[in-house]
Every structure is written in structure tokens, then in C-alpha cells.
Structure 1
Amino acid sequence: MRTIIILLSVVVLWSCSSPTGASQVTPAPDQQLLQWAKTQPAPNSLQPFFDFIATQSADSTQRQYWQSLFLAQVLNQEKGWEAYSAVVDVSTVALLDFKLGKHNPHRALYADALQHYYTTRQLRYAADFTAVDTNGNAIQLSAFGDKVIYIDTWASWCGPCMQQLPYLHALAEHYADQPDFLILTVSFDRSFEAWKRALSKQAAYPNIFPVYVEGGMDSDYGSLFSISSIPSYALLGRSREVIDMSAPKPGVDSLKLVIEGVLGKP
């Protein structure tokens, strides 16, 4: 009897200390995906990791759920997916959606984000980028926090850009008393010095923040924001939420209505 009690005690202790016991925590699906993503090479497309997910389970329903969740995380630019978000393109996204099937029971995970992407050709949140300010210091778009931002991409050599300047200044004056609104002017001038000379001839406004991007349309910014001509305008909501990547020119009355609607959001 004593021997039996000792053996039972050993079994209980072993089960409590076993790494496969009930105390082991299974990662949440989104965390599991991130763990797998960290083991993969730097992404140059969404397809390789989408295909990799399919190798992780023999259960087709579970694979479909993971793949749908992956697409949702990328299109919404959830934390940790920046590298994958940077390689999103229309044809790949459409192909992955097609592969998941129109009767995919998990499509609701990414349907809204997908429609937003198709409408704006951007993700739900504008990609962060780095430019330089008038002092030559690097500054990122994310530094502006929760402000509503109207972006004017221009250059001093661009005639149509300069024609819009009075309207841009009028827009700045209209929102002079609105601390949550900022106009970000992104210059594609041929050099930092040329940009500074152009600025010296313009009036300065507290709610206009000028920055310079080297490389113009060939820059990371030009690529991320799909800029093929200037002037180009975009409107971002709080925390870089994409409102309109092809926003109206600064003198268009409808622009103010949209801005005021965005400013009214909590």
C-alpha cells in the first residue's frame, strides 16, 4: 500500500512539472502568426508567407482562418506587420482574396480593410516616412501624432504647384485656430538648397510644416504614396488614418467639408 501511494505521488508531481501539462499557454492566433513571420526571410511579397501558413496545419478550415487573419493584419497595418505592409500591391492582394474564395467564412476579418485599400490604393493607415525639416533634421510622419494632416506634395519648379500656393495659404488661415489640423508640405525640389531658397520667398504660417524629400518621385515617400505627378494632395485623419490619397486641391470648397468631418471624429 505504501509503495502504491509513493508511485501515485511521483506521477502527480511529474504531471504538474511537465512542459506539456495544462499550464502551457498556447499563443493567440495573431501572436502565432507573428512568431512564424519572424522566422521567415525579409518579405518581397505577401505570397510566400501566405503559402507558408498553409504548411502549418492539415486542417483546411484552420489554414483559411490563419490566412484571412494574416491578410487582415497586413491591410490594417497592425503592429509588427510593417515590413509586410510595405510590399502590398493590388494584384497580389486580389490573388490572395481569390485563393481564399468568395465563400470564405472568415472574409469578414479583412473585407472592410480590403475595400478601403481598393478605394484609396493605400492601406488603412498611411505608411510612415522620413523627410528633413528646414534645419536638416530627420523627421517622420508619425511625429505629428493625432493631428489631421493635409499633405501638399510640390516643387518650386512646378508651375501648377505654385499656382495653388495662395489657396494653400488661405486654407492655413481658415484653420489658424484649429490646433488639431496641420498642413504638411513635402518638397520634390532638385536640392535642399533650392527648396530653402523657395521657402524664403514665401510667407510662413504656424500650421504649415515644410519638409524636403530627396529623390522626388523615386524616393521611398514617392513610392509609398504612389505619386506619379505633382501637385499631389492627400488627407490623413488622426494617427495617419487614410481619408483620401487623392484629396481635392486646397481651393476646392468640398475639401473644408471633409476636413471638418474628420476633425469632428473622436
Structure 2
Amino acid sequence: MNIQHIQQFQSYIRKRRAENRRDLPWRKTTDPYKIWISETMLCQTQVSRVITYYNDWLRKFPTVEKLAQATTSDVLSAWSGLGYNSRGLRVLQAAKDIVARGSFPTTYVDLVTLPGVGDYVASAILAFAYGQNVAVIDTNIRRILIHQFSLDEKISLQELKEIALKVLPHGYATEWYNALMDYGALELTAKKTGIRPLTRQGKFEGSRRQVRAWIVKTIINSQGGIINYEDIQQRFPDRDDLQSIVDDLVNEKIIEINDGKLFICNM
């Protein structure tokens, strides 16, 4: 990879960006709270679905302070449909941590100490909220780099990060990564390249995720916010893993159970 190759790549991506620019609501802000929410929602959820959830979320919780004051039920209700209720719970926990600290973290080291914030989300916040020259690797960017530079699909994340930093036009992190993501989503797709993502979400219908989602949603929508364990057995009579699913929700502090009655575990 030489300088000329990098410059040609940068020029091409900028050109494609001019022709394929997605108008997404989280691209109209540099508020780290809003960037964090959008990136967390986008994890394994299609962009088209996230747009509605993102806008609805900000109407309910416009600031991290408002979110920190919310109940677990309020947050899980707003998160319902995005999958992984535990992710929504960690967002609430992180909001409380941020408010307790007095300000939103501005460094990678501090960001990854927040519940639910891993390498990708932390890096995305730094790039999109603060414009920092960091390596951001999502499934689209990974695919583009592998295809563009003929890399082995088994390349490590650290090696990809090093390449991402080499091709990043310093000072333009936000524009650059948005351009790469648009190019990967709209043109250089997995179908076109044959490059498979590292992880693929399993089928929802019939999965443990479906049962978990049903339990949480049913509790939230029930009168009094309580359901009986028998309600779950009646809804899923052929499953033999219901107790372990309930145990997982209890261990994750999403629900509590007392004498066969299930309810949301408020923080």
C-alpha cells in the first residue's frame, strides 16, 4: 500500500460520496449522546428501522439527563422491537454513570468503561461526535478495506485498524467514515463482493430472543406490570427452555420473579 494507492482510494470514495449520500438524522448532530444512541441502535439492526426508533427515542429522552431519570420499564418499552433488551438496559445504566460523572466521556479509555460500550461504539463516538482521527471498523468498512486492498478475510481487527488509520484523511474523520459506510451499504455490498460479515444474526422466529422479547413486552403492557409464569407456558407450550430463559432475564436484572409472578426490575 503506497501513498499513490491511498490517494486514489480517497479520491474515489469522495467521488462516490458526492453521488451516494444518505440523509440520516444522526448525521445532523455532533451531540455525543445522540451519536451514542444511534450507534447502539444500529448494532445488528437495519438503518431503515433505526430511523423511526431513534427519532421516537429522542422525543422521549432528549438528553442523557432525561434518560438517566427514566424507569427501566420506560426504557425497555422504547427499546422494544430493536432486540436485545439487555442492550437497552445497559444504555440506561450507562446514562446514570455519565450523569454521575458530570459530563459525557471524551476519551476511548473512559468510553469503554460505560456499560454496553465496546470498541466500535466508543470509536464511532470519538469520530462522529468529536471528529477525532481514530479507526472505526464496522461491517461495511471492514468489507471495503478487504476488497480494496486484497486482504485476507481472516485479518485481525487490530490489523484492520492500522490500515484504516493509514487511509484516513486526517481532520475529516466524520465525513470519511460516513462516505465509507454509504459506499459499503449502497454499492460495495456483501452480495457484490462475496465477503461475508464476521457475525450474522440468527432467525428471530422460534428463537430464545423471541421468547425474551415476548416476556418483557407482555410485562410492560400488562395491567399492573405483572404476569404469571403460567402465562409464558401457555404462550409457548412446546418449549422446554422457558425456565432458563426466565433465569437469564433475572440474572441480567431485566426482570424479577416472586412466587411465580414476573415484573420489571427497576434500577
TM-score (norm 1): 0.19
More strand by share: 1
User: Highest Rg: 1 or 2?
Assistant: 1
Higher relative contact order (CA 8 A, sep 6+): 2
TM-score (norm 2): 0.19
